[in-house]
Amino acid sequence: MVYRWLPWKWLVRRMARTHGFVDPLRLLSRLDRFAQPSEVRTPIELLRAGVAFHARGLMNTKAIQHNLDWVWPWWVQKQYDPNDESFLPRAFSITHVNLTHRNWTAVGLPGCRAFPIVDPRGLVTPFFDGWSIDAWIVADDGGELIPARQDTVSQRLLLDGEALAVRTESAGQAGRLRTDVDAVDGETVECRIACRAACPDGGWLVVSLRPFNPEGVSFVHRIRFDDEDRQWRIGRRGRVRFDRWPDRHTTSTYGEGDVRIGLTQRPPSGQCECDVGLATAAAMYRLEPGCESAVELRVPLVYDKRSKPILPTGRTEPWPAALDGAAAMSVPDERFAFLYDAAVRYLVLLSPDDVYPGPYTYKRFWFRDAAFILNAMLATGMSQRAAPVLERFGPRQRIDGFFLSQAGEWDSNGEALWVLRRYHELTGLPPHASLHPMVISGGQWIIRKRCARDIEALHAGLLPAGFSAEHLGNNDFYYWDDFWGVAGLRAAAWLCRRWDDRTHAQMFANGADDLAAAIERSLERSRDIRRCDALPASAYRRMDAGAVGSVVASYPLRLLEWDDPRMRQTVDFLLERCRVRGAFFQDLIHSGLNAYLTLHLAQALLRMGDPRFFELVRTVADLASPTGQWPEAIHPRTGGGCMGDGQHLWASAEWVMMMRNLFVREEDDRLILGSGIPDEWVRQGSRISFGPTATPWGAIDVEIEGFDDRVEVRWRGQWRDHAPPVEARLGDRTPIMIEGAIGRAEFGRSAAKVHSVRDESERR
């Protein structure tokens, strides 16, 4: 109690002025003036993450620029090279972080929380935020093949067989090198690294332990090669097993420099300790002239720095079983097909119990990301994998009804309720009675949280100003939150009707209508600020890149009609003013191209029947990495990641939904088939398909085949109750309406005709 009486503000100010520092309280006050007053300035969760991120950046500042003769990760080689377009001056940068090539690809097994990652040059980081393993060739004549220093390297994702693997291949005068990385399950789950190399004139295949990862320094204090067990022991628990003994082994400390420096002249060494924490080691295998040599490493993934068991259910699941029943896509565009197949596999991999938006930087749970990711999982038939994630919503709800991802964000309740409805809507399963209190509490929280309706402010009746982790800007009254609030209340009403709870159903339906009306009033009253009818990020903002958040009212929520002129103006503005290299460029915070937000715009255009949507889809395909991944934000010049996780699962989920909606999408009380299919996919002799995909009426398979004189759209529905109206569309041809569990619509090359076939079970 006595602490409350202490003059803390005076003490802080006095301390700062005594030592010649700026008054921190005055500085914070000045910063607050750029934002709307809010309950939470910045979520403590983000502050913790930011401190950890920049703490490493400080370590990088001390470690990297003074030791550029080391072999650092690829992003360092690029970002510190003054002759490279990735170069960033560092003079006034307090921390040095990866801002140009935030790219990596995870490997793993379904049901396992451990996600080893591989960077674009084959650097393998087996453990979360841990040390890495690299492979090089050192020739007898002094030549070197070091992938991190190569301008061109081939990397691809292998989807065949029982594993998900990343293959990296490089070649040069010193030889050729191939590294395959995957995860295998035996006595324990292991990361397997298979290296194969050849050197024309003889040399060494070098497997090196590196005290860093794609974010920067990751300390290694002790390394010991256990000759009896043929393995590295790293620190207290890390182990790396080799399938054969190296011909030579050496180590080095920070004071001695990188183990690579003078590698072939270094004396043999089996262990070392480094107080700085930058110990390195090299296991060397002789390469005879013209002969190929191989070595396999296995890293038991027996511990996780987050102190969780890596197998939530106690076992992994084979890939074929994990993918069984997932919607399949067949299209002539091999790039589109590969990106879809890769995205589906990562929906599986990154959902061992929770869903993670990424394997590294974003390896944590947010309701926002989960709503979009789970929507894609449900649409592609992965409801059994989505169910355990939804079961964990309850423990994350506070006693006041708030679904907490992080404090100060008001969209999570709407997202949680919306995706709960989507689960029961797409599966047809009745909501369990145990969910009833959670839904009631969550819906009531939205209603209580709204600002007063009778004030004169532009935000009257809206949700409060909040921090936007969707990166729409400073704390503000974001329409993003309000649109999710409307969707959440309507979802709560829908769920309550399933429980025959008419009282709460009516309460939430009325609450949704009232919040929607408040949004309309706010938009109308704030029109003079932006001088147009487009939808801004907030009533207090002019039109800017943050307006992309309001596109959520079209996709995925469909709160506005497909042809709403305000949404068209919004999308037109964003494409005209915020488009770089064909993609949406998010000026705010991301300062990069956004694959997932570009696809949001494409989805809105698809609803409008605007053919520009496919340009955006192609652009997103072109932005994907060779392994089929997108970072959260992409540097417009380097093409590498510049913000967030280097493998953004939300973006993969949006690709899945985009491909699904090309074939089949929901609009009002009907299904629309084929509205996104380009003409080049349905030429004579071509056959494309998608399914089975879940819809509110049941699962459906769609097949489209091109003939000389016509194009056929065929479907087979497994409807739960009645068949929905089905509208077949192809390009600018006249749409065809038809009903039935089995149907066929025939489009002439210049006209349309229809043929309907009833379900055989109905005939009997």
What's the pLDDT tens digit per position in 456-501? Answer: 999 999 999 987 767 787 889 999 999 999 999 999 999 999 999 9
Q: How confident is the model at residue 19 (pLDDT cuts 50, 70, 90)?
A: low
> Which residue, 614, 600, 616, is CA-closest to 555?
600
Number of domains in the chain: 3
| Distant-in-sequence, close-in-space partners of 481: CB < 8 Å, separation ≥ 6 | 409, 410, 411, 414, 462, 463, 466
The closest alpha carbon to 282, from 307, 249, 257, belongs to: 249
State the amino acid at position 327 in one-letter form. A
pLDDT at 731: 84
Q: Which of 465, 431, 433, 426 is nearest to 449 (CA)?
A: 465
- pLDDT of 16 above 90: no
Same domain, 291 and 420: no
Each residue's pLDDT tens digit, 560-598: 999 999 999 999 999 999 999 999 999 988 889 999 999
Q: Is residue 432 situated within a structural domain?
A: yes
Q: In the prediction, which pLDDT does 187 show?
A: 83
**For residue 508, pLDDT beyond 50:** yes
Parent domain of 531: 393-559
CA dist 206 and 179 (Å) reads: 12
539, HSE (Cβ side, Cα atoms, 13 Å): 23
In this structure, the dihedral spanned by the alpha carbons of residues 346, 598, 699 and 387, taken in order and rounded to 10 degrees, is: 50
- CB within 8 Å of 540: residues ≥ 6 apart: 36, 458, 459, 476, 477, 526, 529
Half-sphere exposure of 557 (CA within 13 A, CB side): 26
Asked if 401 and 413 touch (Cβ cutoff 8 Å), the reply is: yes
Confidence at residue 43, expressed as pLDDT on a 0 to 100 scale: 62
Q: What is the pLDDT of residues 668-711, one digit of tens each?
A: 899 999 999 999 999 888 999 999 999 999 999 999 999 988 99
Rounded Cα distance between 193 and 180, Å, is 6
Both tokens assigned to 620:
């997103």
**154 vs 30, more confident:** 154
Distance of alpha carbon 130 from alpha carbon 420, whole angstroms: 36
CA 333 to chain centre: 23
Confidence of residue 54 (pLDDT cuts 50, 70, 90): confident
Is 207 within the bounds of a domain? Answer: yes
Whether residue 248 sits in one domain with residue 124? yes
pLDDT at 31 over 60: no
The answer to whether residue 387 sits within a structural domain is no
CA–CA distances in Å: residue 736 to residues 107, 174, 345, 608, 678: 44, 63, 35, 17, 17
Mean pLDDT of 135-154: 97
* Percentage of residues in the chain having pLDDT higher than 70: 91
Q: Alpha carbon 449 to chain centroid distance?
A: 29
Beta-carbon count within 10 A of 252 CB: 24
Using DSSP, how many helices (H) and how many strands (E) does the chain show?
18, 34
Residue 546 has pLDDT above 90, yes or no: yes
Residue 262 CB neighbour total at 10 angstroms:
12
| Predicted pLDDT of residue 9 | 62
265 and 128 co-located in one domain = yes
The upper half-sphere exposure of residue 167, i.e. CA atoms within 13 Å in the direction of its Cβ, equals 10
pLDDT for the residue numbered 473? 75
H or E element at residue 180: strand 175-185
Of the candidates 375, 322, 329, the residue with the CA atom closest to the CA atom of residue 692: 329
Q: What is the 3-state secondary structure (H, E, C) of 232-289?
A: EEECCCEEEEECCCCCEEEEECCCCCCCCCCHHHCCCCCEEECCCCECEEEEEEEECC
State the angle between helix axes of 595-608 and 613-623 in degrees (0 to 180), rounded to the nearest 10.
160
**Is the backbone peptide bond immediately before 692 cis, with ω within 30 degrees of 0?**
yes
Same domain (yes/no): 272, 126: yes
Q: Which pLDDT score, from 0 to 100, does residue 705 have?
A: 95
Q: Which of 49-53, 385-389, 438-442, 614-618 has the lowest mean pLDDT?
A: 49-53
Residue 358 placed within a domain: no
**Structure tokens of 36?**
């709307």
Name which of 120-124, 403-407, 658-662 the model is least confident about: 403-407
Q: Is residue 538 part of a domain?
A: yes
Does pLDDT of 396 surpass 80? yes
- The reply to whether 307 falls in a domain is no
Give a yes or no: residue 485 inside a domain.
yes
3-class secondary-structure state, position 232: strand
Shared domain for 398 and 294, answered yes or no, is no
- Name the domain boundary from 559, 574, 592: 559
Q: How far is 691 from 706, CA to CA, in rounded Å? A: 18
- pLDDT reported for residue 761: 41
pLDDT of 760 over the 70 cut: no
Indicate the average pLDDT of the chain.
92
- Inform me whether the pLDDT recorded for 244 exceeds 90: yes
CA dihedral sign, ordered 265, 270, 275, 276: positive
Name the residue with tokens 């292991």.
190
Residues whose CB is less than 8 angstroms from the CB of residue 737 and which lie 6 or more positions away in sequence, other chains included: 725, 726, 727
Check whether residue 276 and residue 128 sit in a common domain: yes
DSSP run (H or E) holding 298 = strand 292-300
> Greater confidence, 526 or 405?
526
CB atoms closer than 10 angstroms to residue 139: 21
Q: Are 631 and 321 in contact (CB under 8 A)?
A: no
Q: Which residue has the higher pLDDT, 26 or 124?
A: 124
**Could you tell me the CATH number of the domain that includes residue 280?**
2.70.98.10
Neighbours of 639 (CB within 10 A): 18
Q: Which of 529, 544, 559 is the last residue of a domain?
A: 559
User: Which pLDDT score is estimated for 763?
Assistant: 38
Q: What is the mean pLDDT of residues 416-431?
A: 98
Same domain as 155, residue 295: yes
The predicted pLDDT at position 17 comes to 73
Q: Is the pLDDT of residue 255 over 50?
A: yes
Of 259, 277, 300, the residue at which a domain comes to its end is 300
Residues 127, 260 within the same domain: yes
CA distance 601 to 373: 17
For Cα atoms 559, 561, 567, give the angle at the middle one, nearest 5 degrees. Answer: 85
Lowest mean pLDDT among 176-180, 237-241, 279-283: 237-241
- pLDDT, one tens digit per residue, over 350-387 is 999 999 999 999 999 999 999 999 999 999 999 999 99
Question: Which residue in 460, 455, 449 sits closest to 539, CA to CA?
Answer: 460
Q: Is residue 433 over pLDDT 90? A: yes
Residue 758 pLDDT exceeds 50? no
CB-CB neighbours of 373 under 10 Å: 27
Return the pLDDT at 475: 84
> What is the mean predicted confidence (pLDDT) over 184-209?
96
Confirm whether 565 is domain-assigned.
Answer: no
